[in-house]
Amino acid sequence: MRVVADVSSGIHLNLGWVDYLMIVVYFAVVIGIGFVARSQVRTSMDFFLSGRRMPAWITGLAFVAANLGATEIIGMAANGAQIGMSTLHYYLIGAVPAMVFLGLVMMPFYYGSKVRSVPEFMLRRFGKAPHAVNSIAFAVSNVLIAGINLYAMAIIIEAMLGWSLWIAILVSAGFVLVYITLGGLSSAIYNEVLQFFVILAGLIPLTIVGLHRVGGWSGLEDSFAKTDPLHLSAWKGTGIGDVTNPIGANWLAIVLGLGFVLSFGYWTTNFTEVQRAFSAKNMSAARRTPLIAAFPKLFIPFIVVIPGLIAAAVIGDQFADPSSGLTYNDAIPKLMQMYLPTGVLGVAVTGLLASFMAGMAANVSSFNTVFTYDIWQRYIKPKMPDAHYLKVGRWVTVVGVVVGIGTAFIAARAENIMTYMQTLFSFFNAPLFAVFIIGLLWKRMTTQAALWSYLAGIAAPTIVWIAYLNDDSLFGSATAETMYGAIISFVTVVVVAGIITPFTKPRDVSELGGLVYGVGKVDVRAGAVASDTAWYRSPALLGTVALVLCVALYLPFL
């Protein structure tokens, strides 16, 4: 039997003075960290890449915390409520393998080439035209994603204080703007480490209390046994020709679309994430950054997806009922309203606010880096004093936040912000990964091939998405559309690059050292100290253990 609860229309969190005190103290600490980090900022490299002096454990926690934004907390809980344990795919096949690949394969090329951003690697490998397109595309996608995090943060403030959405968005943006403008990436990273632990402190009690209220895991199983037996399975109903799973995609689309193209595109070429590894103190620390992050990433679904399942069991079909005033995005806030007492509620609200700030801060700090270095310095004001670029970086931070306020209202129109996010990934990350991986493995690939295949790779999933909007019977669901769109994008890049390359002139091999696999050597021990060579810090060992755990965690949900 499905669990029934009191679910009055809308959400309002009744916080006590203790709850508000926790929130005030947290925000005071956040701003304080910004002022402390400001004292370390003397150059543009300090502001944008923390002077490349961060240890691996800090960059590793910041790496995973930067991803613990709106899409992770609100979006993945919404997916848990809507499609159940199929959401595990976004973590186990859709994240960790790509994080391992980044640490073992991609980071030696990124860090070894001393580039300051992912678009700058595109410049080194293919030249100005692909670089310009990549820089602009990244800037556009990042402010759109920043809007998602800002909108989700505003949902909580709106529920907590009863403020209108636009006021909540402005207040949320103001706090992020202050501490990023003050301390740059260092401020973001230090706060992300703090936010990581605050997020855990907020979500763990919610999960425990929620499970207790529904009778534990067996209660969830009983709840879904008669109504939706596939809700607690990750792989059932994914057969080719027999697609009955909630995602609406077969196993091949899940493996290739999500597990390969979308996942590798996001985790290996998305500068919002990779920037944390760029700030590491040496090559060893840079390689271990995503590998360290992979371990908490493996277990985060148990405090994000499970609350979504609990919400689905408790609230039933009211998420899909417009008259209820609830959407799947409200899963976490609604559980907080229903289950958490004063004191614990303050911790949970603070954790949610921390997650949104971490996500938006990551977007803004990477946006200002790419705009300043890859657009302003490269094409608008080259050869200016370093102080000029530091000043521009701070002003661009303001611009990024202001534009993010506008895109928050676009995100507000999405029923499921995770699906909206995946759509953006299929547009921007999938084709970029295809260009990168081909260019990394094929030294013959040319500038013209990179440019036109990249543009075609952006256009292809856009056309697929428009077609789906006009006829939603083309794919099993909006989520499935993003996977098929990503596959089509990747194949488009491969085909167009394969056609154009033979008819265009390649760069001299002598110019590709350290940029193409097998051309030149990359020193993976650059800057290493004695402690970096300890057996338990071996990137190969860390990566292997993470992949084994991926398989093990899938087994109970086959």
Question: What tens digit of pLDDT does each residue of 305-326 get?
Answer: 999 999 988 886 777 777 777 7
Q: What whole-number distance in Å separates Cα of residue 271 and Cα of residue 66?
A: 11
Return the structure tokens found at 94. 């859709």
Q: Which of 26-30, 157-161, 350-354, 387-391 has the lowest mean pLDDT?
A: 157-161
How many whole angstroms from its chain centre is CA 215?
A: 32
524 falls in which pLDDT band (50, 70, 90)? confident
| pLDDT value of residue 530 | 66
| pLDDT value of residue 71 | 67
372 falls in which pLDDT band (50, 70, 90)? very high
| pLDDT value of residue 10 | 56
| Mean pLDDT (whole number) for 388-397 | 90
pLDDT tens-place string over residues 87-106: 999 999 999 999 999 999 99
Strand, helix or coil at 384?
Answer: coil
Q: What whole-number distance in Å separates Cα of residue 510 and Cα of residue 155?
A: 54
| pLDDT value of residue 4 | 38
Q: What whole-number distance in Å separates Cα of residue 374 and Cα of residue 372?
A: 6
Angle (nearest 5°) at CA 308 between 166 and 474: 85
Amino acid at 514: G
Return the structure tokens found at 392. 């521009």
Angle (nearest 5°) at CA 325 between 217 and 315: 15
| Mean pLDDT (whole number) for 51-70 | 86
* Structural fold of domain 17-380: Sodium/glucose cotransporter (1.20.1730)
In order of 263, 381, 397, 429, 502, the CA distances from 432 in angstroms are 12, 26, 24, 5, 21
Q: Which of 53-67, 265-279, 342-356 has the lowest mean pLDDT?
A: 342-356
Interaxial angle between packed helices 271-278 and 118-126, expressed in degrees from 0 to 180 and rounded to the nearest 10 = 90
5: left (phi over 0), alpha (psi -120 to 50) or beta: beta
pLDDT at 376 over 90: yes
Return the structure tokens found at 23. 């929130």
Q: What whole-number distance in Å separates Cα of residue 304 and Cα of residue 301?
A: 5
Q: What whole-number distance in Å separates Cα of residue 361 and Cα of residue 357?
A: 6
Q: Where are the domains of the chain?
A: 17-380
Cβ-based burial of 341 (10 A; exposed 0-12, middle 13-18, buried ≥19): exposed
Q: What is the DSSP string of 177-220?
A: HHHHHHHHHHHHHHHHHHHHHHHHHHHHHHHHHHHHHTTHHHHH
Q: What whole-number distance in Å separates Cα of residue 146 and Cα of residue 69?
A: 9
How much of the chain, in percent, has pLDDT values that exceed 90? 35
Return the structure tokens found at 104. 């073992």
Return the structure tokens found at 18. 């203790």
70 falls in which pLDDT band (50, 70, 90)? low
Return the structure tokens found at 31. 């701003």
| pLDDT value of residue 437 | 93
452 falls in which pLDDT band (50, 70, 90)? very high
Q: What whole-number distance in Å separates Cα of residue 93 and Cα of residue 553?
A: 11
pLDDT at 525 over 70: yes
Return the structure tokens found at 292. 């360290």
